[in-house]
Structures are given as structure tokens and as C-alpha cells.
């Protein structure tokens, strides 16, 4: 049974979501403010954290930042009632795996949660090492290297990079990457994949452009001299 942590100060919404997610077979823990949320996120072992942005005390972004600083790579799904795109993408830039704008259909939430959780067994299906252009991905060790430097990636970033390395320089469409890493197709105007790619590039020791954007088609890894 997967353990989820829901950090949201909207008590009515939280209790209703608890009913729904419990019914779906998840074990849910609630936290009503940022401090309590961070404490639980750091102490307990959760398979997924559902995180609201607007929280009393430390907000969702700060919570996420501190969580990632402690090198906790628990998948995080941001729930945001803010309207603008910048706010949505801001969470991804800080290392969230996916976001869901409020209001959402509860079924969509359940689907996203399942998609993010599904990756772990999905990874173990083909645990063989893959190598290309200086990248070495070892799913059995959960280890990614670039030019012999270990990369500290979130699970989503790991899955994206693994998919690109396996393609051996072939272009992988954005949609295929999204399915592989987020377990879902991309919605129109969805910039989440681009943000994840940009996060991976920032983590590469040299030559971030070796993950190349192929306009209108997707991404690929190129051999860098």
C-alpha cells in the first residue's frame, strides 16, 4: 500500500481527498501547514507528497526547496490554485515532479498519483545498464553518470534521461518522454517536460547542450566532441 502525504491548509478539501484516496487504496497522512508538512516529509518515508502552494507559515515552494536540499527525492505533485503559468512552472523548477492546477477532477488527481507511483516497478522491468555519449545509466543502482560524474537527479529527471540515453541519439518525442517519466501525455501549453529537461541540463557537469532540443519534434542526446 503506497503511503501519501497531503500538505494543504484547506481542511474541508483535505478530508474529502482523504476519503477518495483511501478508497483508492492509498494510506494518507495530512498536514495543515508548512512546518508540520516539512517535518513529516523529512521524518516519514512517503512514496509521494501532494503539496499545496499557498500554506500558512512556510509555503509550498519553500517546503519543496528545503526537502530537495536535504537530498530527499520523494516524488512531489504540486497542487496550485494560483492562475498564472509562472507559478505552476516555478514548482517544477524547484524540483517538483508534476503539478495539478486547482480545481481538478478528483479522478485526474488519482490518475496522476498512480502514474507517478507506477514508475518504480516500471523501472525494474528492464534494469539493464545503458550507455551513450558519455552517459551511463544504471537503473539497478538508481545511478546516473555523465563523464564519470554522478548526477543527483529526481526520479522524474532520472526517467527522462534514461529514456534519452536508451534512444542512442535518436530523437524522442516530448509526448513519449512525458509518458515514460510522468506516466501521462502532455496537455496543450504544458511546459513541465521542458522545465525538467532544463533542470537536467543544469545538473550536467559540462556542455548542457548535449541534450539537444529538436524544434517541433522532441529531444535527443548528441555526441559532444
CB closer to another protein, 24 vs 207: 24
Residue 101 binds another protein (CB under 8 A): yes
Asked if residue 25 binds another protein (CB under 8 A), the reply is no
CA nearest 96: which of 49, 57, 56, 129? 49
Regarding 176 and contact with another protein (CB under 8 A), the answer is no
Question: Taking CB under 8 A as the criterion, which residues in 48-77 touch another protein?
Answer: 54, 56-57
Beta strands 149-151 and 143-146 are antiparallel
Q: Where are the beta strands (DSSP E) in the chain?
A: 3-7, 27-31, 48-52, 76-80, 98-101, 130-132, 135-138, 143-146, 149-151, 172-173, 211-214, 218-221
Edge to edge, the sheet with strand 143-146 lists 130-132, 135-138, 143-146, 149-151
Q: How far is the CB of 81 from another protein (least distance, A)?
A: 4
In angstroms, the CA 164 to CA 168 distance is 7
Which of 61/219 has CB closer to another protein? 61
Q: Minimum distance between the CB of residue 29 and another protein, rounded to whole angstroms? A: 18
Residue 89 binds another protein, judged by CB under 8 A: no
| Grid-cell match 513529516, residue found | 40
Q: Which of 42, 44, 85, 107 binds another protein (CB under 8 A)?
A: 107
Under the criterion CB under 8 A, does residue 16 sit at the interface with another protein?
yes
Residue 36 lies near another protein (rule: CB under 8 A): no
Residue whose C-alpha cell reads 492562475 in the numeric block: 83
Binding-site ranges for another protein (CB under 8 A) = 9-13, 16-17, 19-20, 23, 32-33, 54, 56-57, 81-84, 87, 101-107
Amino acid at each position: 500500500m503506497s503511503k501519501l502525504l497531503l500538505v494543504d491548509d484547506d481542511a474541508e478539501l483535505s478530508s474529502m481527498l482523504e476519503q477518495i484516496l483511501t478508497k483508492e487504496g492509498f494510506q494518507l497522512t495530512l498536514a495543515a501547514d508548512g512546518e508540520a508538512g516539512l517535518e513529516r516529509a523529512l521524518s516519514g518515508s512517503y512514496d509521494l507528497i501532494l503539496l499545496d502552494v499557498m500554506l500558512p507559515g512556510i509555503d509550498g515552494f519553500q517546503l519543496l526547496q528545503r526537502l530537495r536540499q536535504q537530498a530527499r527525492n520523494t516524488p512531489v505533485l504540486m497542487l496550485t490554485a494560483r492562475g498564472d503559468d509562472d507559478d505552476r512552472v516555478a514548482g517544477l523548477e524547484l524540483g517538483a515532479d508534476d503539478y495539478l492546477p486547482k480545481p481538478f477532477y478528483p479522478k485526474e488527481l488519482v490518475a496522476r498519483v498512480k502514474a507517478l507511483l507506477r514508475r518504480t516497478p516500471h523501472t525494474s522491468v528492464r534494469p539493464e545498464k545503458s550507455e551513450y555519449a558519455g552517459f551511463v545509466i544504471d537503473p539497478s543502482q538508481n545511478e546516473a553518470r555523465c563523464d564519470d560524474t554522478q548526477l543527483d537527479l529526481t526520479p522524474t529527471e532520472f526517467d527522462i534521461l534514461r529514456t534519452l540515453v536508451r534512444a542512442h541519439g535518436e530523437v524522442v518525442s516530448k509526448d513519449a518522454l512525458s509518458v515514460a517519466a510522468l506516466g501521462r501525455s502532455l496537455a496543450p501549453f504544458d511546459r513541465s517536460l521542458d522545465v525538467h529537461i532544463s533542470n537536467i541540463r543544469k545538473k550536467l557537469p559540462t556542455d548542457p547542450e548535449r541534450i539537444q532540443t529538436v524544434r517541433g519534434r522532441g529531444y535527443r542526446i548528441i555526441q559532444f566532441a
